[in-house]
Structure 1
């Protein structure tokens, strides 16, 4: 387009690669959280490498795909946190490359650069909250990250299939990606399926054959035309078969394995492992409803509408500035100074803007609008082949965005769970701001060059704002934690670090290896570091596990396991401490206190107040 038309394509790619390498080096070992989620992400695949079968030998909250994927790399390169971090960095590079290729093919170098910039600063290497689990290096859930990456693969493969004449291989790849996403995490499955289904439907609609299939009474030209149509119809059918076959391949492969090592009921639950908590009381937990925006539907709808109006106001303001710059204001030099002054002013305002959350809430509206707009254009411009590829790409990416952000449609955000769910919709802003908005402005008599520069300024400002927020956390994480299989950096001023490391050293030297060690409620990282398998089926006790599996069932499993030692690690999950409520482990904590005695205490007594961090070691009463 107008700004980067003179930038060589290879130079742009080198810039993105350099930026990726710099971010990877600066943030290395600074992601993850010692007290939340990271432990179970590392622990689960390790159990698979020991020959334990998920859902039979230990429970798992999500689908099996990520467990076996991560276990594969553990087997190849060793059971260490750096193994998964290294693999995830490689996957992140592939994610950036795939999205860059998608944007470059559809909208050119400028859109590809903008998309890569937002992907790197707002998502891949983001640390926008104090908890460092919402990134692509060491996420809170491997299933969440892999689900998004599989959905991206499905969308990219669909684009490739349409661009290359419907080759079966690409449809098959798209189907495999959907099947693996089905085995990963439920909320990312729609993001994989929607663009593939739409792509197959579009391909079939474009190549549907005439109703008459008899060639006997047609002229030679008409017979050739109908014969060609029949061939295209068969090709469309093969696209559908390839997608379905690709989907069934990973699902049926895992199902065959599951039914061969488990009874039918647990085997079925293993196949649908990504979906089982959707139909349990866990889906109605207050925190779960809050993350979806269902805790305050009317208020969130109002904020969604307000975010939409802010977006409209910004677009109108950009258009008005472009219209004003279209007029002559003195000499050319003065005119250029005014234009760049407007661009610089918008960029400075965007960087200093402290409430990006409000316009970001409009992402579902933007994504849905892009899908509807693309569909209308395709229906009304069937003969415009020049722009058709771009609009199809816009529609596919829009469906990817809608499917990903569906769960947080009332409370869209980049932070926290938005690191995967809001990523496609956020990147969708780039072609809308720097490609389609300038084109629309040109049709309305505005200065398209200025409008595009203003759009680029907004994209760059959003990335800078999020980068600054991440750096405020990253620059404080310099204290190394190198113990056993873990090599991470934590906050310099975190008082919990000394308590945690002291407890690890004591446990590693005082508890014999042949005595069972149970760490609750979220202590899988301690089991992982000490190379001590959890004797029970449940390796983590969040409100989701307790509501999904049932506290009675968990307690019965603990009693059967009969661990010699129980370690209580302080855990406060808003709005309650572990053991305070029947919804969050009160019976389990009562069992510990009745059948075990306190042996050692590190730090403050745990589970007393939200901030009283401590680790308590209990020994069974014999």
Structure 2
């Protein structure tokens, strides 16, 4: 079925120069937000211990001549590692190269998100959706689960290729040209080479979108075979080339490791039980409901206030409504987070102080002879009031950002979003199937559901898995706003201003630098930065080239330009799963001994109720390190990123 082509789009003469800012100021606004967030977040990584360092170490070792899957244990597709290795080859062994790669990929996600959302809504709503993606997916503080310094660059590459595939599906739905279907299949194949679940989910999304409301069964079969065949060829050819250096058996066991499933059963973090899913959906939706009510009440009060007769004109009405909406929303959200009875007096005192200062300043200014006319007086008073409210909002933002256990505002955690999308598609099936961009809608829906199926259909690790779901969410709200008179766009704008402000405030806390000639990381933990800097200094002074880092912290390898002798680059539960595997690992290390062993004693509090320390799940390796090697260095005690528990970095050398 070919859906109606876009209508109402003005034609543009060939060779005519068009100012992109005049044509689409909303895109300019989105790009301005991207540049701001990119500048503020550059090099800031809260967790320089875990997966991001592994991504850098694997890429660097590929340039040293090692082969993925044979010399380096890895679960994901090869494409991102070799593309990143090419970037390192071109621009040098610097951590900033990975930041730049992340920014390029995030920019691609930004532009594709904006373009796809325009197809489903309009430009203002597309801008809102894209800014939401920037705040919660691209530049979310903390690292690991954003698009700039992710736990796996494969997930970011996969997101880009899948968005390209859905763009091609949309064009196929409007033109019926097979070349768009082939392009979508190629993009799915590249997504599969990046990360397996993205390739599979993207392929299902393309098949759903391409075969929506088919005319005949033969067409469905032909299209499906074409898409699957092209995508399979794109995956098989690169793996066949790798198989000349790595056996097919090794490839299979690397990409589909059975031992990795242990971490899913042992760790509460990865629990995918139905009970946990229901509890997460219920609790996060309760937060959304409560915080949404606060913001809607603030909007209602601001609207009432702006209609008062003493507000002089429309310009000031808009200004006052915006300031009051944000200020009272922030105040209400703080009251929800804290014990109201104990802190209401303090908050009321702050608000009263702001009002008194503004009132006294008004009276004082009105008596000054150097105020030439009433217009200047009004401007000065209103400027003072605005500054007071801005200062109050800044204090409240700091309060919210410091309480980082739960981001307490409507869009802070949307694990409940997938059930909402299921209900929307089920109840509005007849309407959505007739939508002029129905192939795109259903492709995004199928992809979002299947990608998050591992968590029993809630969005886990919100930022990096939620791009397409957010596009559907904003499409749902756009349709709801079209049918009602509710100021939904204002509600979303306040949510984004609060979320973006909290991100900027939190990113401002990343002030402590971990420095090396190979790159710089900014963290918010002063003691962690000191320990890392001293460890880097010791490794560099030792002139060691072979350094084993256990159980995590391959960032140290990259920042000291050393390589691990181990196939494993991170030692989480399941990587070396059994005592026999531990003995085999120790034998390998004895045959290829490292110059130094860096033992990072970070507590695994985030794996509760599973393992609490590395010695608990790999005791034989722990004993081999501590009893058969000599302790030559111990860093100062670290409290940052330890959930209240102290830890340290020890370095061992052969006796």
TM-score (norm 1): 0.78
| 1:72 match | 86
Q: CA RMSD in A?
A: 3.8
| 2:588 match | 557
The change in CA–CA distance for 1:370 and 1:402 in structure 2 (over 3 A counts) is farther
What are the Cα deviations for residues 280-337 of structure 1, in whole angstroms up to 9, with x where unaligned?
A: 32332314434x466735533543675797799899x89x98xx99xx999xx99999
Q: Would you say the 8 A contact 2:414–2:462 is kept in 1?
A: no
> Following the alignment from structure 2 to structure 1, what is the Cα–Cα distance between the partners of residues 514 and 560?
14
Q: Would you say the 8 A contact 1:31–1:137 is kept in 2?
A: no
What are the Cα deviations for residues 430-470 of structure 1, in whole angstroms up to 9, with x where unaligned?
A: 2222x2112332xxxxxx3xx2xx21122222222222322
| 1:220 match | none
The change in CA–CA distance for 1:406 and 1:190 in structure 2 (over 3 A counts) is farther
> Following the alignment from structure 1 to structure 2, what is the Cα–Cα distance between the partners of residues 403 and 9?
37
The answer to whether the aligner puts 1:180 opposite 2:190 as a matched pair is yes
| 2:468 match | 424
The alignment covers a number of residue pairs equal to 550
Q: How does 1:385-464 map to 2 (within 5 A)?
A: 388-409=435-456, 412=459, 417-433=461-477, 435-441=478-484, 448=485, 451=486, 454-464=487-497
The answer to whether the aligner puts 1:467 opposite 2:500 as a matched pair is yes
Which of 213, 238, 247 is 1:254 aligned to? 238
Q: Would you say the 8 A contact 2:190–2:199 is kept in 1?
A: no
CA shift at 1:471, angstroms?
A: 2.0
Q: Would you say the 8 A contact 1:121–1:464 is kept in 2?
A: no
> Following the alignment from structure 1 to structure 2, what is the Cα–Cα distance between the partners of residues 338 and 487?
47
> Following the alignment from structure 2 to structure 1, what is the Cα–Cα distance between the partners of residues 503 and 281?
28
| 1:81 match | 95
| 1:23 match | 37
**What SS does the aligned partner of 2:529 have?**
helix
Q: Which has the higher relative contact order, 1 or 2, with Cα contacts under 8 A spaced 6 or more apart?
A: 2
Q: How does 1:310-321 map to 2 (within 5 A)?
A: none
> Following the alignment from structure 1 to structure 2, what is the Cα–Cα distance between the partners of residues 304 and 476?
26
Which of 524, 528, 531 is 1:496 aligned to? 528
Q: Would you say the 8 A contact 1:308–1:362 is kept in 2?
A: no
**What SS does the aligned partner of 2:650 have?**
strand
| 2:164 match | 153
Q: Would you say the 8 A contact 2:169–2:440 is kept in 1?
A: no
| 2:603 match | 572
CA shift at 1:588, angstroms?
A: 0.8
The change in CA–CA distance for 1:198 and 1:267 in structure 2 (over 3 A counts) is same
> Following the alignment from structure 2 to structure 1, what is the Cα–Cα distance between the partners of residues 326 and 644?
41
> Following the alignment from structure 2 to structure 1, what is the Cα–Cα distance between the partners of residues 258 and 46?
25
| 1:384 match | none
| 2:648 match | 614
Segment of structure 1 superposing worse, 458-467 or 92-101? 458-467
What are the Cα deviations for residues 211-236 of structure 1, in whole angstroms up to 9, with x where unaligned?
A: xxxxxxxxxxxxxxxxxxxxxx66x6
CA shift at 1:260, angstroms?
A: 1.1
**What SS does the aligned partner of 2:598 have?**
strand
Q: Would you say the 8 A contact 2:164–2:184 is kept in 1?
A: yes
Q: How does 1:89-168 map to 2 (within 5 A)?
A: 89-127=103-141, 131-163=142-174, 165-168=175-178
| 1:595 match | 628
TM-score (norm 2): 0.74
Which of 44, 47, 70 is 1:56 aligned to? 70
Q: Would you say the 8 A contact 1:524–1:540 is kept in 2?
A: yes
Unaligned runs of 5+ in 2: 1-20, 335-407
| 2:569 match | 539
Which of 49, 60, 82 is 1:35 aligned to? 49
**What SS does the aligned partner of 1:487 have?**
strand
Unaligned runs of 5+ in 1: 1-6, 210-232, 382-387, 442-447
